Amino acid sequence: MSSKKASPRTKASPRSKADQRSGTQTIERAVALLREISARGHFGWPLSDLAARCHLYKSTAHRILTCLVRERMVRQRPDDRHYMPGPMLFELGLSSLPERGEMQHAARSRLVTLARQTSGVAYLFFRSGDDFICAARVGTAKLEARALTIFPGTRRPLVLAAGGAAILIALPEAEARAIIRRNLANLAGYSEASIPGIHRMMQRSFDEGFAVNLGDILPGVNAFGLALRDATGAPFASIALAGPARVLPLERLDEIRRLLQATAEGLQAAPV
């Protein structure tokens, strides 16, 4: 009985491997561009600054951005041609992670109460890897006019806000320390970033058991934060409170801790 010889498995050619890598690299670059554009959704990016931020040649960034504009994931503001988030990003987000959207909606009324009780600006942050994303911001009209630069959609390294510090100190210490090291190594472009100030905020926060920023990141602005945990106990979000030091002085620390705890407990107990 004759046996049929198995045909040898076809090997990928060097050319096809290069094509695969090229395609993957293009996707990675597109994602990097989208991440940075979304981080400055209120302000946008000029092409040269955006390309430099993503470590790309201007011609490469422009080619990818042209495609993203065509697909409505990115748009250009008419007056200055800055690149901004496009409507397709919003449309895609409508059907993804509905539980996050429900929590964002549920948090707003509780943050309004917190802001009124303290005369501060209250926030909801979600963790995104080594960064945080601002999901909600509420506060008095007087404070909204101040230069508190975190708005819904803002993405920053976790070490650059009390809400991020709250998430860090709720993580296992080794994981938190590793993220802090990575954050500190990637602070180029954040003019308000003070390395000694970040260290002071983080040490104080570890000591207090919740995030306490006494003008460490932005002089004259105090901020406080508490992590929200999921069903497994892992921190996935935080609530934070910020305002001028005269409005939220150190003397109010116990009151602020109590109000943050009550807000967090109410939010985590609410059905979403």
Tell me which fold the domain 98-269 belongs to: Beta-Lactamase (3.30.450)
- Residues 222 and 215: beta-carbon distance below 8 Å: yes
Q: pLDDT tens track of the chain, all 272 residues? A: 444 454 444 454 555 555 556 778 999 999 999 988 987 877 889 999 999 989 999 999 999 999 999 999 999 999 999 999 998 988 887 666 666 777 888 889 999 999 999 999 999 999 999 999 999 999 864 554 444 678 888 889 999 999 999 999 999 999 999 999 999 988 876 655 578 999 999 999 999 999 999 999 888 899 999 999 998 999 999 999 999 999 999 999 999 999 999 999 988 765 54
Q: What is the pLDDT of residue 41?
A: 77
CATH 1.10.10.10 in the chain, residue ranges: 18-91
**CATH 3.30.450.40, the chain: domain bounds:** 98-269
| List of E strands, the chain | 74-76, 83-85, 121-128, 131-139, 155-157, 211-214, 221-229, 235-244
CA of residue 2 relative to chain centroid, distance? 65
Buried (b) or exposed (e) across 87-98, using 16+ Cβ within 10 A? eebeeeeeeeee
Residue with tokens 């002085």: 249
**Cα–Cα dist 19/21, whole Å:** 5
What is the enclosing helix (H) or strand (E) of 147?
Answer: none
- The CATH label, of 1.10.10.10, 1.20.1090.10, 3.40.640.10, 2.40.170.20, for the domain at 18-91 is 1.10.10.10
What separation in angstroms does the CA of 97 have from each of 11, 104, 116? Answer: 40, 11, 30
Can you tell me the distance from the alpha carbon of 184 to that of 199, in angstroms, rounded to the nearest whole number? 10
- Per-residue burial over 130-165, b = 16 or more CB atoms within 10 Å of its CB, e = otherwise: bbbbbbbbbbbeebeeeebebeebbbbbbbbbbbbb
- The pTM of the whole model exceeds 0.85: no
Contact predicate 212/162, CB 8 Å:
yes
